[in-house]
Amino acid sequence: MAVPIEILGPEEEVVPTVIKTLLLDDSTFDRSRIRRLSNKTALMVDLTEVGTIAELKEAVAHQVYDLILIDYRLPQGDGLEVLAYIQKSTLNSDVATIMITGDGDMETAVTAMRNGCHDFLAKEAMTADGLGTAMLGAMQSAAAHRDLVAQSAHQREIIRQGLTAALMDEEVQGTVVSLFKTQLDQAQHANSNVFAVSDHSDLEALLATLSEDDDFIFT
């Protein structure tokens, strides 16, 4: 008897009421300027500032953020290294990110986007409107990517459940065992050493272990 399959897709708030934001910039002056600009947007931004990569690593290890602003030019390392670290982090691997570059530094911006950054802003030309628009766009892009990943996982789970349910059916089990036996006979006939199975009883014992390893149940 087939097992009914029902998986509900995740629902998430693309733009939260309060946007928990982390800003990495080694310049106190620039951090203060970006804070002022964020306060002038139409968004409610809860901004945490850090001045070093070490401080950022500490922050992303203990807090989930909606958005991270990354200054590209840093005394030690650069924004691309920081981006790669964030993407491998446990809590913030899928967070929205914006790279802050110098004016005219398009090569860096393009590289950042190719590496999964959601947007970029030129620091000197940054305005409150531009910052707000970039924040919204980055969060929407990040949410769209999370939805795509969730849909792929959803599809894989449906396939897994379908295969598991099918393999619980006696007719399907018989067909699978028959196919394995046919392939084994052909391999042995060709003097193949791929399978070290002496007879069909060994094969059936091997198939029985699938119920432990892969959730495929044979009775």
Residue 91 has pLDDT above 50, yes or no: yes
Average pLDDT over all residues of the chain = 81
pLDDT of 164: 65
Q: Collect all residues with Cβ–Cβ distance below 8 Å to 85 and sequence separation of at least 6.
A: 53, 56, 57, 60
Which amino acid, residue 130?
G
Spatial CA neighbour of 44 closest among 25, 72, 11, 66: 66
Residue 21 has pLDDT above 90, yes or no: yes
What residue ranges define each of the domains in the chain, with the CATH number in brackets?
18-150 (3.40.50.2300), 168-213 (no CATH)
Residue 23 three-state SS? strand
Tens of pLDDT, residue by residue over 142-173, are 999 888 777 766 566 666 666 666 566 666 66
User: What is the pLDDT confidence band of residue 10, given thresholds at 50, 70 and 90?
Assistant: very low
